[in-house]
Structure 1
Amino acid sequence: MTAHSPAPSSAPKPSAPAQAAPAVTPMGWMHTARFLTTAAQLHHLPAMDTPEIAFVGRSNAGKSTCINTLTQKKQLAFASKKPGRTQHINLFALGKQGVTDAVLADLPGYGYAAVAKMDKLRWQQVMANYLVSRENLTGIVMMCDPRHGLTELDDILLEVIRPRVEQGLKFLIILTKADKLTRSEQAKALSIARLQAGGGEVKLFSALKKQGVDEVAQLLWDWTHPAGAAASAAPAAEPPEEEPEALDE
């Protein structure tokens, strides 16, 4: 009798373990920024429940350059050599394509003398209304050129947002163009700004030297992903203590 070789096993081969998706880094997340919409009036902005972070500051304080540096998009925010050119609220979406998990709002710079008085007053009112009433506003980032410090208009804006900051709205002062200061001047500017920040945070920033870029990206990520920030900050759980074995009596 002819011996038959055993039939090949039909058992399915174990599948390779699925690879976990690469972790999203704050800088990688910032690089997903893309234009969402623009509005000349507050009521033209879309109602959203996505966390929104507003960038504000005096004209020529480096606001557009800061946004472009954080997002690595040279022309995302319009950086003009003529201060006061931004006359709209521009929204930029963050998150992988098709999914928006946060929004950046680029507000017009304020305080430039060459802008017509009526236009300045109109935009000051639009900005104040936005900062006070925008329901999904999660945080405010104020640009300040540390060579000049906070100005009277900056102080007015701080007073406008103070009630919301006291209620939990996040707030950050970015001292731009830090590369133009010596180390001792940077330290002095930080100390002064912290006294004026009213409980907010202060960071040195240089688009040229990339100083503070990672720190600011991390902070904005934490603001808009509080659950993830809490998880990463939480200490690792200690293993439970083993109970001693019971002795036979």
Structure 2
Amino acid sequence: MSGAPRLLVVEDEPSILQPLLRALTRGGFEPTSACTVAEATSLVDRQEFDLVLLDLGLPDGDGRDVVRHLHRTTETPVIMLTARGAEIDRIVGLEIGADDYVVKPFSSDELIARIRAVLRRTAGSAKTRRPLEPLTVGTLTVDPGARVASVDGAALELTRREFDLLYALARRAGTVAGREELFDEVWGTGWFGTGKTLDVHVAGLRRKLPDDAPPITTLRGVGYRLDLGTPG
């Protein structure tokens, strides 16, 4: 299956895992499976994957630990698979960098459609959002080439989505970035999520920006603005 997208499926329930692996293979993917946090983190350290499908409830820990480990060194997109349907679980998953969130039970056709949509979005994002030079807004510097954001020289620990969002705001510093505009640039036009996704990621950015960073101002019903100055 040379050239097929390589997927890591992290799921400990055989009755779900085996049919899912067969469906993904039929769908034109090359799946590899892991059943624990330890196995998954070992695999992502040794191999490259185009996307990770990740169950939250694993026997040796929380699947979100895999996301944190993965995003320390890569930008591999993640779709979370979980029986948890509560909004707080979806919000936490998105905050730590998941690209989509699918609640069990789900159809293989729906999941494959979501996988393809995420792969389309992430395949084009690096080309459209990486200028040659870093951007500086007051004390904030955003370097898209190195994918590093810092305030007064101190690097910020951001998820992939948070970085992309901060860069989108920095490109428009001093002007309003519309909600739809931000969704199209950061998530892509095929995004399946809800409007709350943007608000969750902005809230996460605000928590991580120090007091002397340029503030993000909310324009209700319109969008957000990264201000040119620092808080008074």
Q: TM-score by structure 1 length?
A: 0.38
Name the larger-Rg structure: 1
**Which of the two has greater helix per residue?**
2
Comparing both chains, which one has the higher relative contact order based on Cα–Cα distances under 8 Å and sequence gaps of 6 or more?
A: 1
Which is strand-richer, 1 or 2? 2
